[in-house]
């Protein structure tokens, strides 16, 4: 069976995507699958402060979960089970949820999401490593120039240093800023006001749709 939603109605694909775009809603789906909890038990497991918060997320999950009449507990619909399969495949493969839901990639990240402390720490660590390698390449290039006078080796070292330096600075800015998505947008985002552009990335865990290493200010 195909994991993606090709062939599903567009409205259905957007509804599933919206349901999976918030970490709390993914937790609800997983808790319902594992334990089949009722409303009060689900609220307790999630650590939500108010019933209104849970009700908000349950409304977003309409069609993915259902209340079992006999027990009063929530269960997954066939669409809900498919949604969890898609989320799991996205986490394992690194492909964005847009791809699995057969939707065009978004150009702008939701302002309510920021990379959490773990994600920022990882970004800053990678920035330090990349910048250290950049300095090492610059130093080795200078040594090669003074000892061998080799324009080829120096040229290669400069090119590699420029590339690593760019990514090092990008990771540094992204780590300080906390904006989700591919770090390559960090420097361009400094040049724009208001909107910050989001780019899905296959090689990092900060992909907004996948909800990894993210914190949300949305209730």
HSE-CB for 159 with a 13 A CA cutoff: 6
What was the pLDDT predicted at 58? 92
Determine what percent of the chain is predicted with pLDDT higher than 70.
74
C-alpha to C-alpha distances, 125 to 119, 129, 157, 175, nearest whole angstrom? 10, 6, 23, 9
* Angle at alpha carbon of residue 65, lines to 12 and 209, rounded to 5°: 55
Q: E strand or H helix at 56, and its extent?
A: helix 51-60
Which residues are within 8 A (CB) of 177 and not within 5 positions of it... i.e. 6 or more apart?
Answer: 186, 189
Q: Where are the domains of the chain?
A: 10-100, 113-216
Largest CA distance in the chain: 83
What was the pLDDT predicted at 210? 45
Q: How far apart are CA 102 and CA 178, in angstroms?
A: 27
Stretch 78-104: mean pLDDT: 83
Q: Tell whether the torsion through CA atoms of 2, 5, 9 and 12 is positive or negative.
A: positive
C-alpha to C-alpha distances, 171 to 25, 149, 177, 186, 191, nearest whole angstrom? 29, 33, 10, 8, 16
E-strand spans in 70-192?
74-76, 113-115
The 10s digit of each residue's pLDDT in 51-89 is 999 999 999 898 899 998 888 899 999 999 999 998 888
What was the pLDDT predicted at 113? 61
Topology of the domain covering 10-100: Arc Repressor Mutant, subunit A (1.10.10)
The 10s digit of each residue's pLDDT in 134-143 is 888 877 765 5
Confidence of residue 128 (pLDDT cuts 50, 70, 90): very high
pTM over 0.85: no
């Amino acid at each position: 069976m195909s994991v993606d939603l090709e062939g599903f109605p567009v409205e259905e694909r957007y509804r599933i995507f919206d349901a999976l775009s918030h970490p709390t809603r993914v937790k609800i789906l997983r808790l319902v699958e594992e334990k089949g909890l009722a409303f009060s038990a689900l609220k307790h497991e999630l650590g939500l402060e108010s019933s209104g918060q849970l009700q908000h997320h349950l409304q977003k999950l309409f069609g993915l979960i259902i209340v079992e009449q006999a027990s009063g507990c929530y269960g997954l619909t066939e669409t809900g089970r498919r949604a969890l399969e898609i989320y799991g495949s996205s986490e394992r493969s690194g492909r964005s949820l847009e791809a699995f839901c057969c939707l065009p990639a978004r150009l702008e990240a939701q302002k309510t999401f920021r990379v959490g402390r773990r994600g920022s720490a990882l970004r800053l660590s990678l920035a330090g490593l990349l910048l250290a390698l950049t300095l090492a390449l610059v130093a080795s290039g200078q040594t090669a120039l003074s000892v061998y006078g080799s324009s080829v080796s120096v040229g290669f070292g400069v090119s590699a240093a420029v590339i690593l330096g760019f990514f090092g600075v990008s990771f540094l800015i992204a780590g300080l800023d906390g904006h989700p998505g591919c770090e390559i947008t960090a420097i361009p985002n400094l040049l724009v006001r208001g909107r910050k552009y989001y780019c899905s990335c296959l090689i990092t865990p900060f992909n907004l749709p996948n909800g990894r290493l993210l914190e949300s200010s949305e209730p």
